[in-house]
Structure 1
């Protein structure tokens, strides 16, 4: 026989689940604008039934006992999460390269009236004026001043590229430190989540936010264990980074291109260093060829070349104008003419422009892909106020119905206990 208080138990369980559902909906509404928050939902199931006697005999009927509150979980899509991490890694890599190429375009500063090409044209024109008046002291002085202007522009560009390389090294080191800090925080959150029994939704949201930040810096693979902790490794070589509470920090590598193994922003910075060094080498070659075409000697002095510099081991920072040369003479025609050096510089500028535009397009494309993935992910894990308000009304009716069941059962018990006893 079923207990007379069975209805109270049914109502109590309904009230409990209804209250938890309403509270969870309120939590979702309160965090609708919280970055990294994942929508939560109440998971319930029918509680085990009771066997009852029926007219057909024993064990032929079952009576429901209500509802059980199983868990309160986050709504996530692992596939979309992985897609988002992949797009973030690629976008971070291209953003680092685009920033470097933008800096190089600013340094090269072409086309411009104050650029290197204009300085080379100025020296070429000064030579033509001197050819028309070989004995003119003012024409010789103009040649030397135009040569000095060319050196100043070239050395300024070279120094800016040196500074850019130093900044890229510092930025890479800082990015490695930032990545290691994320790894430590993820391991600490793993520990807390395992300790709390794998039901810490807020801690999991914080951990996922850190993983997303980490995926911008490097390419990672993620595996969630049965106890709720994350295992993270490098995509390139499966090197373990986080395994539960254990952390394996990454090291900054000073060799050219060695940080590319990490992927993400670190790989972009590593590639940026190689790009900057290549353009600096090309710039030095252009300046060396132009100086040689306009006569360069390591000795200097009277009746010597316009420029003082070592052609065999050329260093742009040591290039000087030979002010002692008197009189100046037109440079001899060689295979490396001024026009050839200028042509090489124009090729450098064109190549830089093409690379920069390609980087801009790549950042735009990968940014759009990431945004599209994020929109799909938000449709799953994000909070929709319309949906939550509809749920709130549904759970309110459910709670009211359970409360009505309790009230009705109370009235029945009052009739049985008080009124029947009075008779």
Structure 2
């Protein structure tokens, strides 16, 4: 008889008590976001005697011991989840903003551009019937002003949205840097704890939750190398966190020379069409941010995530290209961002306004005013000193705003005041299919709105599909890593009974030792 039995029972009590603690911890965190189920890794203790030729026969081990406290986690599911979560973030941003752009164009409606231009042509129709009527001329002026105001309003709303998205880009960069710093801090805490032989599972959960959060903002890869260093990479493999070191991002303003020949600060500058920084922001209006690495100045090449959605919406030109002036020479550089974002719609509005100005002024400048003067007056006033921002500056000319007589209706002064041949030609512009590649003015707008609707619905469908996929992947992750109350209750009963059985074993050995020590008297008594 020895005390080994007591030691074996003691290890049983310790193991089962630890199991009860782990079970209790799992149950307490069943609803904690990011918590990963923990399990005991138990090993049996070998016999105390050394194994050898003269070792005692029928050796029994020395009970059990807790080898480690492990997390149940599938890294492959984590990778899948983060990849799809990143795409969900991208398409949600695109769907929301394309839907907002649809509300800006507001088609079909009484206040939409199609309705406003229809009303303008209707007023011209009335003018062709009554060229000398000041009342009808006032209607034409009012409808023309309503048309330019509608273009202004849409253009301004798009610019405001672009500026808002720019602010969101800045906020996302701050958020990425903050998450990176938190991960690096957790890396240090985990490293110190596990260096002492402890298992920092709860800190690891916090870190994984941060990586999940980061993956929605930007495409993210995270892994632990063979030396135990935790690495976080974003934007196609660029290192954001290397163990304790954080490589921060920053935002800076583009310095591309556009037709104006100046950068975002109003200063003349050069341009390299092969520079990724230039290509990234070719269609940005002044003041928009470039996202780059703080230490190298290299532009971030983002693959997916909310930041990708924001930049695509803010910078996407739909495959258009712009002629630019570099060192006094015109160049044409295609933009890398072919997504149809805000710059695409700004450009299309500019194209619409430009054709409107050119076609109507081409006719109107050939006409005669009601008081018999040939003054080559424009109907729509083009932007002074600008060759690009037509939609921003278009307006009915001051000459017409100040004097209704300056609205020209005829090419022949002798036909005044009833001549209407010029107005008839203006009305023909409504059905002129050679103005745009899409056809006439109304065809241009229909094509623009139709494509916008297709893009918006497509982004919405992608976002909804991604949400379903992410939910399915998260459910699979929870099936592996999540806490099952039923399973934990089963473990609770198992450990509780194991604890009770080990305690009874101690009682049994205690009684046996009591008999040996206290109840066996001397021989002969």
Give the TM-score category using the shorter length. Answer: over 0.9
Question: After the TM superposition, which of the residue ranges 106-115 and 282-291 deviates more from structure 2?
Answer: 282-291
1:14 matched to 2:94: no
Distance 1:102 1:75 in 2: 41
Deviation by residue 1:107-138 (Cα, 9 ceiling, x = unmatched): 11111111111100000100001111111111
Quick one: distance in 1 between partners of 2:241 and 2:388? 48
Is the 1:52–1:61 Cα contact (8 Å) retained in structure 2? no
- CA displacement at 1:22 relative to structure 2: 0.7
Distance between the aligned counterparts of 2:484 and 2:38, measured in 1?
12
Q: Which runs of 5+ in 1 are unaligned?
A: none
Give yes or no for contact 1:193–1:229 (8 Å, CA) kept in 2. no
Find the partner of 2:380 among 303, 307, 315: 307
1:353 and 2:453 correspond: yes
- 1:168 matched to 2:165? The reply is yes
The offset of 1:376, in angstroms, is: 0.5
Aligned mates of 2:129, 2:395 — CA distance in 1: 25
Match of 1:261 among 298, 301, 312: 301
Question: Are the aligned partners of 2:138 and 2:404 in contact in 1 as well (CA < 8 Å)?
Answer: no
Deviating more after overlay: 335-344 vs 357-366: 335-344
Q: Secondary structure of the equivalent of 1:261? A: coil
SS state at 1:94 partner? helix
How far apart, in 2, do the equivalents of 1:123 and 1:364 lie? Answer: 41
Q: In the alignment, what sits opposite 1:233?
A: 233
- Structure 2 CA distance for aligned equivalents of residues 190 and 394 of structure 1: 35
Partner of 1:382: 482
Q: How many residues matched? A: 419
Contact 1:49 1:64 in 2 (8 A): yes
Q: 2: CA distance between counterparts of 1:168 and 1:59?
A: 78
Question: 2-side partners of 1:277 and 1:244: how far apart?
Answer: 40
1:363 aligns with 2:463: yes
The 1:247/1:301 distance shift into structure 2, 3 A limit, reads farther
The answer to whether the Cα contact below 8 Å between 1:9 and 1:65 also exists between their aligned partners in 2 is: yes
Question: Please, which runs of 5 or more residues in structure 2 have no aligned partner?
Answer: 255-276, 282-289, 292-299, 317-340, 370-374, 410-422
For 1:299 and 1:309, how far apart are their aligned partners in 2?
A: 17
The 8 Å contact of residues 43 and 73 in structure 1, kept in 2 or not, is answered as yes
Judge conservation of contact 1:290–1:337 (CA < 8 Å) in 2: no
Quote how far apart the aligned CAs of 1:62 are.
Answer: 2.4
Q: Cα gap change, 1:16/1:344 in structure 2, threshold over 3 Å: closer, same or farther?
A: same
Describe the shift of the 1:312–1:70 C-alpha distance in structure 2 as closer, same or farther (beyond 3 A): closer
Q: How large is the RMSD of aligned CA atoms in angstroms?
A: 2.6
Q: 1:299 to 1:373 in 2, by over 3 A?
A: farther
Which of 334, 341, 347 aligns to 1:281? It is 347
Q: How big is the shift at 1:229?
A: 3.9
Matched residue SS, 2:73: coil
d(CA) in 1 for partners of 2:309, 2:56: 70
Distance of 1:412 and 1:301 partners within structure 2: 126
TM, length-normalised to structure 1: 0.92
- After superposition, residues 40-59 of structure 1 pair within 5 angstroms as 40-51=38-49, 58-59=55-56
Q: Which has the higher helix share?
A: 1
Trace 1:219-230 onto structure 2 (pairs within 5 A). 219-226=219-226, 228-230=228-230
Are the equivalent residues in 2 in contact too, given 1:299–1:308 (CA < 8 A)?
Answer: no
Instruction: Return the offset for 1:284.
Output: 1.5
- SS of residue matched to 2:240: strand
Name the counterpart of 2:270.
none
Q: What is the CA–CA distance in structure 2 between the aligned matches of 1:178 and 1:421, rounded to whole Å?
A: 79
Tell me, yes or no, if structure 1 residue 71 matches structure 2 residue 151. no
Contact preservation (8 Å) 1:53, 1:60: no
